[in-house]
Amino acid sequence: MNTIFRKSMLSVAGLAFAGGVFAGPIAAHAGNPVDAKPVAVAVQSAAPKPQGDQSHITLNDEQTANVKAIIAATKKAGLPERAAVISIATSLQESKLENLGHLGDANDHDSLGLFQQRPTSGWGTPEQITDPAYSTTAFLKGLRQVDGWQDMALTDAAQTVQVSAYPDAYAQWEQQATDLVGQYWNS
């Protein structure tokens, strides 16, 4: 048998089998009345699985307070837990959840605060940017402007807001951020 003919026959057989698998249950009940009652189906929007190797740090009291401030600002903005996960992962990457002031020569331009936002880029005044509630709200405002952020990979959503020189670095914090939101969202 030539190869093309054999592949064609296998394709037809495969389609017939698949049709039987899908149509069989329908055909089996065609003559039987079915007691059709609505069934409630819970559809949960599962967050995407964290990408790549994950990092983790042990938090001190200041860092934990900043996690709680990010969560509080996210709730106040009326956004879901996913927004808090993205925000916390972003802050973990940018500042390790430390509210950083000006770092002198080690500073990246004029970047400040939890999200390393820059006054010269329009994020706010130095005083505003170093206020965890304000800086989180500013980050969330940027996140809301990203079409489809809820379904995006965390690193893509964070990068779209932050415009970092290291766009893939946010992904490494997704699991810890998810765990922190799980721990503190309802407390």
What single string gives the DSSP state of each residue in 22-47? HHHHHHHTTTS-------------PP
Quick one: pLDDT at residue 175? 97
Is 14 within 8 Å of 136 (Cβ atoms)? no
Residues in the chain, how many? 187
Instruction: Give the pLDDT of residue 52.
Output: 81
> For 11-39, how does the pLDDT look when each residue is reduced to its tens digit (9 = 90+)?
444 444 344 433 444 444 444 444 443 43
Per-residue model confidence (pLDDT) at position 40: 37
* C-alpha–C-alpha distance, residues 152 and 144, integer Å: 12
- pLDDT attached to residue 46: 52
| Residue spans of the chain under pLDDT 70 | 1-49, 102-109
Name every residue whose Cβ is closer than 8 Å to that of residue 68 and which is 6 or more positions away in sequence: 184, 187
